[in-house]
Amino acid sequence: MHPVPPAGLAAHVAAPLRMEVLIGPPGSGKSTWCAEHRSERDLFNLDTYRLWLTGDATDQTRNPEAVAWQQRDLHAHLLAGRLAVIDATCTVAWQRAVHLETAARFGVRARAIVFRTPLHLCLQRNAAQDRVVPIDVIEGTWAETTMLTRAGLLAEGFADVIDVSPRGPAQP
Ligand SMILES: Nc1ncnc2c1ncn2[C@@H]1O[C@H](COP(=O)(O)OP(=O)(O)OP(=O)(O)O)[C@@H](O)[C@H]1O
Ligand SMILES: [Mg+2]
């Protein structure tokens, strides 16, 4: 196992940046961005585990097992020294904290990638999906996303913050 970095800023700065946590409402384009910009083998999305467990990516009945399974794979991935990209909405602080805690445990730093897609586009894209997410869920998670600031995310523990907007995604 990678050693957990000793306390101190220098050690923290030296830790490799090997986790990316996507943040954004359904329909904001997270998975599409991942398909274009990241390796498929580095992606972690609970839909994958729900599909394996139940045969249906939307079936929430075995979520605890899906989460546990994803965590095991995530740990192995980080131990192997690979970048892990968490493709989930993560618009609530405790959801991000779970991943930041994992990053700290495995001695890596994390980047937040915030999808600042306008609400009307999220709703429009959602309406065109096979699996339509309730509008109030999109509105709620979109509002949570708009509240997020770079300073706030850095204060949570992210080492870097990138905004992705339909006009021009920043490319790390
Ligand atoms: N930049 C884009 N331009 C045009 N269409 C896009 C873009 N990004 C995503 N879409 C379309 O929007 C829809 C939703 O995108 P995507 O599945 O990537 O969203 P998501 O944020 O991963 O949503 P969820 O949280 O539900 O998984 C898809 O049909 C996709 O083709
Ligand atoms: Mg997605």
Per residue in 47-62, pLDDT (tens digit) is 999 999 999 999 999 9
DSSP 3-state assignment of 164?
strand
Mutate to test the pocket of ligand 1, among 31, 38, 171 (most ligand atoms within 8 A of CB): 31
Looking at residue 131, its pLDDT comes to 84
DSSP per-residue string spanning 25-56: -TTSSHHHHHHHHS-GGGEE-HHHHHHHHHS-
Task: Give the pocket of ligand 1 (CB within 6 Å).
Answer: 24, 26-32, 89, 125, 128-129, 133, 166
Q: Report the CATH superfamily, name and number, of domain 9-164.
A: P-loop containing nucleotide triphosphate hydrolases (3.40.50.300)
Mutate to test the pocket of ligand 1, among 21, 32, 90 (most ligand atoms within 8 A of CB): 32
Distance (angstroms) between ligand 2 centre and the Cα of 107 equals 27
Residue-averaged pLDDT of the chain = 92
10 — pLDDT class (breaks 50, 70, 90): low
Ligand 1, residue 88: give the atom nearest the CA: 25
Q: What is the distance, to the nearest Å, from the Cα of residue 53 to the centroid of all Cα atoms in its chain?
A: 21
Distance (angstroms) between ligand 2 centre and the Cα of 160 equals 22
pLDDT at 166 over 90: no
Distance (angstroms) between ligand 1 centre and the Cα of 107 equals 32
Distance (angstroms) between ligand 1 centre and the Cα of 147 equals 21
Ligand 1, residue 89: give the atom nearest the CA: 25
Mean pLDDT of 1-18: 64
Q: CB under 8 Å, gap of 24 or more: what pairs does 51-58 form?
A: 57/131, 58/131
Per residue in 88-115, pLDDT (tens digit) is 999 999 999 999 999 999 999 999 999 9
Looking at residue 91, its pLDDT comes to 98
Greater confidence (167 vs 122) lies with: 122
Per residue in 118-153, pLDDT (tens digit) is 999 999 999 998 889 999 999 999 999 999 999 999
170 — pLDDT class (breaks 50, 70, 90): low
Per residue in 19-44, pLDDT (tens digit) is 999 999 999 999 999 999 999 999 99
- How far, in Å, CA of 126 to CA of 102, rounded? 31
Q: What is the distance, to the nearest Å, from the Cα of residue 46 to the centroid of all Cα atoms in its chain?
A: 11
Which listed ligand is nearest to 116 at the C-alpha? 1
Which listed ligand is nearest to 125 at the C-alpha? 1
13 — pLDDT class (breaks 50, 70, 90): low
Task: Return the beta strands (E) in the chain as ranges.
Answer: 17-23, 43-44, 84-86, 109-115, 160-164
Which listed ligand is nearest to 36 at the C-alpha? 1
For the chain, how big is the Rg over CA atoms in Å?
Answer: 16
- How far, in Å, CA of 79 to CA of 46, rounded? 20
Please, which residues have CB within 8 angstroms of residue 60's CB and are 6 or more apart in sequence?
50
Q: Where are the domains of the chain?
A: 9-164
